[in-house]
Amino acid sequence: MADVAQKSSGAALVVGLLLFIVFETAAYYLLRFATSGLGMSDQMQPENTIVSNWVKTVVFLLLHLLLVVVAVLVLSNRLSRRYRGQVMGWFYLSLLTGFLLLIPLFG
């Protein structure tokens, strides 16, 4: 019976959601600043190619993935065993959010 994991409370999930939103917002603004010199702001130019914006997209996604993996590693070591079960769920949601953040990045 000692191996039975305790479930996180509803309050812990709400705190996790709020911290997830804060993390993703901070990551977006940090990465937007870091990739501001890449890409073209005006997509409707006759000599425009997709290459510069492709580079900005790939760099943004790779840096976002790096931030998320570092956050997961830090949280896995710092959180108590009771709350570690939430970390992988937020990790998967963050991977999806990284792609969704491309919309306001180029919008």
Predicted local confidence at residue 94, as pLDDT: 92
Predicted local confidence at residue 40, as pLDDT: 65
In a domain, 27, yes or no: no
In a domain, 38, yes or no: no
Specify the number of domains making up the chain.
1
In a domain, 74, yes or no: yes
CA distances from 106 to 21, 34, 35, 64 (A): 20, 14, 11, 16
- Residue 27 · residue 67 · CB < 8 Å: yes
The mean per-residue pLDDT over the stretch 42-49 comes to 60
In a domain, 93, yes or no: yes
Residue 24 vs residue 13, higher pLDDT: 24
Domain range for 93 is: 68-106
* Reported pTM: 0.79
In a domain, 88, yes or no: yes
Amino acid letter at 84?
Answer: R
The mean per-residue pLDDT over the stretch 56-77 comes to 91
Query: Whole-angstrom distance between the N-terminal and C-terminal Cα of the chain?
Result: 53
In a domain, 3, yes or no: no
In a domain, 75, yes or no: yes
The mean per-residue pLDDT over the stretch 53-64 comes to 88
In a domain, 77, yes or no: yes
